[in-house]
Amino acid sequence: MLGKTIAVQMEQGFGDIFQYARFLPALKVLGAKRVIVLTVPNLFGVLGQMECIDQLTNLTESGPAHECDYWIGSMSLPYYIDCAMPYVKALFPISNKKVVGSEGYFEAEPSNIPKKIGVNWSASKGTLHWIKSISAEHMEKLVGDDVYSLNPEMDGNFRPLPNDGWKKDWAITAKHMKAMRGVVTVDTGTAHLAGALGVRCVVLLPKEEFVCWRWKNARWYDSVCLLRPDEYDQLPEILRRM
């Protein structure tokens, strides 16, 4: 890898991309000359702030990602860190107690919205959408209606965020999140972006048998608090402390 150009294909959903971006700096520590990140354009603003990334692209058959020395999927990065020399492992520790980068490895300048809680009750559309999601009515009972909707498809009875393009640009979403008192969300990309920003976040998990491995096997984010369904009644006190 020393002196080589590495292209990293960011994989799966937005949450997966935010979660595994923490390992990108390891490539420079391992000696990569250039790091090219292949992802969708609405993530360019968020990922582009990482100093380890030399170029972002969404072109697969031409350009910098096509001309690189090596190509790797982002979710394979922890494996190669685990195989690396001791000093790399020391800089990028992976354990059940803590995963490197959990202090907040994204940054954003807070927007000027009033300081309130943001909520998202709907997981990304997929196999587990209905299992991970809760109804807007249920969320309203838990947090009230004087909160911002972070749901890009609907606002429900919650306050809408400014119509400034945040639904199509995660960098704008990040600015609004940084201005919030905290975030309450189900298991979706909203949770991972809040954690990566170091924004206080409560993730409302589904029933135990459907809880994703991400929330079972390690502590990925210092700012994230996890609640099982029988713990949802703790939310008002947590929000009061926020």
Separation between Cα atoms, residue 163 and residue 156, nearest integer Å? 16
DSSP letter for 10, please: -
174 within some domain:
yes
Question: Are 33 and 146 in the same domain?
Answer: no
In which domain, by residue range, is 19 found? 5-91
pLDDT of residue 83: 86
64 and 132 housed in the same domain: no
Identity (one letter) of the amino acid at 76?
S
How confident is the model at residue 145, as a pLDDT? 93
Whether 30 and 140 share a structural domain: no
- 150 closest CA partner among 216, 199, 219, 101: 199
Whether 138 and 229 share a structural domain: yes
Domain count, the chain: 2
CA torsion angle for 125, 131, 132, 137 (degrees, to 10)?
100
**pLDDT score for 126:** 80
Pair 49, 147 in one domain: no
Is residue 86 located within the same domain as residue 147? no
Pair (127, 232) in one structural domain: yes
The per-residue pLDDT for 35 is 96
| pLDDT score at 89 | 85
60 and 13 within one domain = yes
- The confidence score (pLDDT) of residue 102 equals 64
Would you tell me how many other CB atoms lie within 10 Å of the CB of residue 235? 18
Mean pLDDT of the chain: 92
Residues 160 and 207 in one domain: yes
pLDDT digit string (tens) for the chain, length 242 residues: 788 999 999 999 999 999 999 999 999 999 999 999 999 999 999 999 999 999 999 988 788 888 899 999 999 999 988 888 898 888 888 887 778 776 789 999 999 999 999 999 999 888 888 999 999 999 999 999 999 999 999 999 999 999 999 999 999 999 999 999 999 999 999 999 999 999 999 999 999 989 988 898 778 999 999 999 999 999 999 998 88
Same-domain check for residues 126 and 225: yes
Domain presence at residue 156:
yes
Q: Quick check: is 109 in a domain? A: no
Local structure of residue 123 (DSSP, 8 states): P
Claim to verify: residue 72 and residue 164 sit in the same structural domain: no
Say whether both 123 and 234 belong to one domain: yes
Dump the DSSP string for 178-234.
HHSSEEEEESSHHHHHHHHHT--EEEE---GGG--GGGTS----TTEEEE-GGGGGG
Q: How far is Cα 44 from Cα 57, in angstroms, rounded to an integer?
A: 8
Token digits for 156?
């429900």
Is 85 within a domain? yes
